[in-house]
Chains A and B, each alone.
Chain A
Amino acid sequence: GAVVSQHPSWVICKSGTSVKIECRSLDFQATTMFWYRQFPKQSLMLMATSNEGSKATYEQGVEKDKFLINHASLTLSTLTVTSAHPEDSSFYICSARIAGDRNEQFFGPGTRLTVL
């Protein structure tokens, strides 16, 4: 149990286009999901916390108009990178917390974004 999926697993896009990444909790309800960014050989940096039915909370330095987050249901959160540029190329990872359980986050397999 406690499986989180991400789609797509990798994506290549042209500069200036928008890309949507989905994060789904497959066998549990997730009131809270988290979006992380990981540059090569670096650690995970939290971008934003996504709560079902409300606006996401962004970390300092993360542009909310560039990284749009929608958490429309208890099993799905989406991250849209708008007007992507090469510097947005990175590995994006989501995690989800089981509703009512504050102790553990379950991670998705990640999405590799390459912007040409």
Chain B
Amino acid sequence: AQTVTQSQPEMSVQEAETVTLSCTYDTSESDYYLFWYKQPPSRQMILVIRQEAYKQQNATENRFSVNFQKAAKSFSLKISDSQLGDAAMYFCAYRSANFGNEKLTFGTGTRLTIIP
């Protein structure tokens, strides 16, 4: 079974600064997807960024980028120019690429606080 570990229960960053959230995972599969989701106080899950394991290039979405290290099974999220609206719980998630096994396995989350 796959597991996802987020070792930072809480993080804080000054507004406009950069912060990196850590995520490691364990799997025996070679093809899979990794995600970062944001859950603000409204509890609505929002997809931040997605990475396909077969792609060597790290995914980027505006101020959000990842550092995907497949051999190390590491998938960190970097948030640049942090904004007050970035404050939320961030969950790292894994999904198999195998047909019929599309469930998401989530990490325990990191609560990000933005300091004005």
Contacts and interface: CB of A to CB of B under 8 A. Distances in A.
Interface residues of A, number: 21
A46 B102 contact: no
Interface of A: 32, 34, 38, 42-46, 49, 59, 91, 93, 95, 97, 102-105, 107, 109-110
A44 B91 contact: yes
- Report, as a range, how many residues of chain B touch the other chain: 10 to 19
A95 B45 contact: yes
B30 to A, nearest CB: 17
B43 A34 contact: no
B115 interface: no
Interface string B27-53: 000000100000000111111001000
Nearest to A59: B103
6 contacts: A43-B108, A44-B106, A59-B103, A95-B45, A102-B99, A109-B43
B16 interface: no
Contact of A110 (B43, B46, B91, B107): B43
